[in-house]
Amino acid sequence: MSYRIAIASSDGESVNQHFGQAGNFLIYEVSEGHVDFIEDREVIFDPEIHTQSDANFERVTILLSDCKAVFVLKIGERAIRYLLVNGIKSFAVNFSLNFIFTTLIKRQNSRIKLL
Amino acid sequence: MSEILDEPRYVCALGGAQSVQAIYRAVPIFHSGPGCAARVSGSSSGTGYLATNTFPCTNIAETEVIFGGEGKLYDIIENSLKVIDGDLFVVLSGCTTEIVGDDLEQVVGDFKDADKPVISVNTPGFKGTNYEGHEWVVDAIINQYLTRLPKGEKIKGLVNIWGPVPSHDPYWIGDLRELENLIREIGLTPNIIFGEHRGIKNLNKVPLAEFNLLVSPWVGLNNVKLLEEKFGTPYLHYPTLPSGAHETSAFLRSVAQFAKIDLAPIEEIIALHEEEYYYHLERNVSVFFENRTASKMFSTVSTASRALSVAKFLVNDFGLMPNKQYITENVPVEHQDRIAGYFKEFRYGVEAETIFTTDGYNIQEQIEKEYYFGPPLIVGSIFEKKIAKKLNGNFLCVSSPFQQKVVLHSSYVGYHGGLKFLEDLFTGVYQTYN
């Protein structure tokens, strides 16, 4: 079974963006034994909408709606809950993308799964 | 094999952290979920230099379950060393991190050159109770800390005392201090690592002792064996926590004999104590035996250590007859036959049947069926209060879960401990019927 994840990274090597301030999310698809890069999704900031507002959370949630999880450097409690009720788990980590991918591939056949 | 356990009287192995807390300025670091520290300590270990709410904890959540928590543990240890002024840091693991497979030893190994000693102990709840956790904590301290100390000369007359389990046993500290007093009275120097302001200073003296004294039926037996293996220190295993004249006098004689001390002056000390002790018993005989509500038979529902101590006192000193004795701390199977044997060594050939069970429902059901020749006396935990009341019996709470009275430093050990036990017992009798 494959699923998509979003990673807040500006360099494609490590998670280095705060959820609210991330200008883009890298979307990857995790399948049996491998991870494929799908696309780089840009977050269009609206100067009328505050980054901590529900309206902004909703825009980002829609942007990531096909993902099961999002990896960010930091994320606020409200944003965590907003994402969760919309079926997206969030992980505040400072890992490299490589570590995330290898762990998720390893976990696919273990009892401890991301999903 | 799984079943529902009603009214457990112990917590999981992570409760061994209470023994770390009992070493002054030792810091337990929890590699577990955020609730574990509070759950295993409850209200029993109280506050102090460090307490439940200030222990460092890695707050394991989903991220660490998926990606491992070793990185987070490293950060927490590193920062704890910076902000907590402690003498010994002990990392303890909970169930979650053990299932995930975090390697504690490897992470702790990175701190071998730290200013303060950092050691680790695996205490997942599925592996045992807090009584076993206590043993593992002491074992870890021996293996990872004491063996790395520079070798020193043995100190003549120095005796390490082990036995009462810190915090979980409400009378632990009073009992330890009373044991200390008794040992000091016969001319030896006691050394206990637990309790106020002893800490690392006493811990460092452990390998230098002339012998180890274990006053407990089973908890700590592995520790004194390990100390013998590592430092060649012999040990005396005295299974009964002495309470009252009969057992305390026997205890003093055994220790003196083991330490090869001249018995004549010891007999003088014993005679003096016994004179005082029996004076108090004699002048209160009317309270004890002319009280129509006093019980003739009793059951204990407690840890092996407390049950044995109370049973020996009530039979040998006070002349009550034992009904079944319920041992509730999930004693490892290898110790059970030996412990059951201790309950067959009362004076006058009196024997008691021991039941090893952890289930409150099972215990109360059996107590209700037994015949006690009048109102039963139940000596147990707060869980037994209801059944004692139902049977119009007498009740004394001596073990965890306690919440019955506040115990600061009182003790049921020694000559004074026996008298204190009677005070508490008959205060209960008076309060029930007056």
CB distance A107–B66 less than 8 Å?
A: yes
Do B76 and B188 belong to one domain? no
Residue B373, Cα to own-chain centre: how many angstroms?
Answer: 32
Nearest CA-CA distance, residue A58 and chain B, Å:
24
Phi and psi, residue B425, nearest 5°: -60, -50
The region of weakest confidence among A36-45, A100-109, B32-41, B210-219 is B32-41
**What pLDDT, on a 0 to 100 scale, did the predictor assign at position A110?**
72
pTM for the full predicted model: 0.92
CB B57 within 8 A of CB B77: no
- Chain B CA closest to residue A99: B67
Work out how many domains chain B is built from and give that number: 3
Q: What average pLDDT does the segment B121-133 reach?
A: 95
Which tokens go with A110?
Answer: 């273990």
- Report if residue B179 sits inside a domain: yes
Q: What average pLDDT does the segment B383-407 reach?
A: 92
Residues 242-261 of B with CB under 8 A from A: none
Which residues are within 8 A (CB) of B357 and not within 5 positions of it... i.e. 6 or more apart?
A: B326, B327, B328, B363
Which residues are within 8 A (CB) of A60 and not within 5 positions of it... i.e. 6 or more apart?
A: A19, A43
Interface test with A, best of B62, B67, B72, B96 (most A CBs within 10 A): B67
CB distance B63–A100 less than 8 Å?
A: no
B chain contacts of residue A91, beta-carbon cutoff 8 Å: 62-63, 66-67
Asked which of B258, B274, B306 is the last residue of a domain, the reply is B258
Please give the single-letter amino acid code of residue B3. Answer: E
- Report if residue B75 sits inside a domain: yes
DSSP labels for chain A?
A: --EEEEE--SSSSB----TTT-SEEEEEEEETTEEEEEEEEEP---TTS-TTSHHHHHHHHHHTTT-SEEEES---HHHHHHHHHTT-EEEE---BHHHHHHHHHHHTTSSS---
B chain contacts of residue A93, beta-carbon cutoff 8 Å: 63, 67
Q: Strand (E) positions, B328-413?
A: 354-356, 377-380, 394-397
- SS3 state of residue B85: coil
CB distance A112–B67 less than 8 Å?
A: no
- Report if residue B21 sits inside a domain: yes
Do B190 and B241 belong to one domain? yes
CB distance B67–A89 less than 8 Å?
A: no
Phi and psi, residue B153, nearest 5°: -75, 145
Q: Is the dihedral of CA A53, A57, A62, A63 positive or negative?
A: positive
A chain contacts of residue B100, beta-carbon cutoff 8 Å: 112
Please give the single-letter amino acid code of residue B275. Answer: E
pLDDT exceeds 80 at position B179: yes
Calpha distance B40→B400 (Å, rounded)? 12
Of A93, A104, A107, the CB nearest to B63: A93
CB distance A112–B63 less than 8 Å?
A: no
- Report if residue B1 sits inside a domain: no
Residues 12-41 of B with CB under 8 A from A: none
pLDDT exceeds 90 at position B287: no
CB B210 within 8 A of CB B183: no
pLDDT confidence bin for B43, thresholds 50/70/90: low
Do B389 and B307 belong to one domain? yes
pLDDT digits (tens, 9 = 90+) for A50-90: 777 888 888 899 999 999 999 999 999 999 999 999 999 99
B333 at interface of A, judged by CB pairs closer than 8 A: no
- Report if residue B242 sits inside a domain: yes
CB distance A93–B100 less than 8 Å?
A: no
pLDDT digits (tens, 9 = 90+) for B353-385: 999 999 999 999 999 999 999 899 999 999 999
Calpha distance B137→B119 (Å, rounded)? 10
pLDDT exceeds 60 at position A94: yes
**What pLDDT, on a 0 to 100 scale, did the predictor assign at position B317?**
94
CB B123 within 8 A of CB B13: yes
pLDDT exceeds 90 at position B129: yes
A10 at interface of B, judged by CB pairs closer than 8 A: no
**What pLDDT, on a 0 to 100 scale, did the predictor assign at position B402?**
87
A80 at interface of B, judged by CB pairs closer than 8 A: no
A105 at interface of B, judged by CB pairs closer than 8 A: no
DSSP labels for B110-175?
A: TTTTSSS-EEEEE--GGG-BHHHHHHHHHHHHHHHTGGGSPP-PPPTTEEEEE-SPTTTSTTHHHH
Calpha distance A12→A6 (Å, rounded)? 12
The region of weakest confidence among A49-58, B141-150, B395-404 is A49-58
Longest dimension (CA), chain B: 70
CB distance A92–B63 less than 8 Å?
A: yes
Q: A114, A62, A104, A101: which is closest to A83 by C-alpha? A: A62
CB distance B62–A100 less than 8 Å?
A: no
**What pLDDT, on a 0 to 100 scale, did the predictor assign at position A115?**
60
Calpha distance B423→B429 (Å, rounded)? 10
pLDDT confidence bin for B168, thresholds 50/70/90: confident
Of A93, A104, A112, the CB nearest to B100: A112
Do B301 and B390 belong to one domain? yes
Longest dimension (CA), chain A: 46
Q: What is the mean pLDDT of chain B?
A: 93
Do B207 and B312 belong to one domain? no
**What pLDDT, on a 0 to 100 scale, did the predictor assign at position B1?**
56
Asked which of B79, B113, B148 is the last residue of a domain, the reply is B148
Which tokens go with B417?
Answer: 């401990």
CB B152 within 8 A of CB B207: yes
For residue B306, what are the CA distances in angstroms to B106, B218, B241?
39, 12, 7
Q: What average pLDDT does the segment B129-148 reach?
A: 97
Do B141 and B180 belong to one domain? no
Which tokens go with B39?
Answer: 């759950």
CB B214 within 8 A of CB B237: yes
B chain contacts of residue A107, beta-carbon cutoff 8 Å: 66
CB B58 within 8 A of CB B76: yes
Nearest CA-CA distance, residue B69 and chain A, Å:
11
B290 at interface of A, judged by CB pairs closer than 8 A: no
Do B180 and B294 belong to one domain? no
Q: B280, B262, B370, B277: which is closest to B322 by C-alpha? A: B370
Do B144 and B165 belong to one domain? no
CB B22 within 8 A of CB B44: no
B66 at interface of A, judged by CB pairs closer than 8 A: yes
CB B388 within 8 A of CB B376: yes
Do B341 and B407 belong to one domain? yes
Query: Which residue range(s) make up the domain with B347?
Result: 285-429
Residues 67-126 of B with CB under 8 A from A: 67-68, 100
Do B342 and B406 belong to one domain? yes
B263 at interface of A, judged by CB pairs closer than 8 A: no
Nearest CA-CA distance, residue B119 and chain A, Å:
27
Asked which of B116, B148, B180 is the last residue of a domain, the reply is B148
Do B141 and B166 belong to one domain? no
CB A7 within 8 A of CB A100: yes
Beta bridge partners of residue B299, listed in sequence order: B378
pLDDT exceeds 90 at position B234: yes
A92 at interface of B, judged by CB pairs closer than 8 A: yes
Interface test with B, best of A15, A68, A112, A114 (most B CBs within 10 A): A112
CATH code for the domain in which residue B138 is found: 3.40.50.1980
pLDDT digits (tens, 9 = 90+) for B109-118: 999 999 999 9
- Report if residue B237 sits inside a domain: yes
Q: What average pLDDT does the segment B152-180 reach?
A: 95
> In chain B, what percentage of residues exceed pLDDT 90?
84
For residue B227, what are the CA distances in angstroms to B26, B207, B280, B389, B424?
20, 8, 41, 46, 37
Which residues are within 8 A (CB) of B293 and not within 5 positions of it... i.e. 6 or more apart?
A: B375, B394, B429, B432, B433
- Report if residue B392 sits inside a domain: yes
**What pLDDT, on a 0 to 100 scale, did the predictor assign at position B295?**
85
Do B418 and B296 belong to one domain? yes
Phi and psi, residue A85, nearest 5°: -65, -20
Nearest CA-CA distance, residue B101 and chain A, Å:
11
Nearest CA-CA distance, residue B100 and chain A, Å:
8
CB distance B62–A112 less than 8 Å?
A: no
- Report if residue B263 sits inside a domain: no
Of B62, B67, B100, the CB nearest to A95: B67
pLDDT exceeds 70 at position A112: no
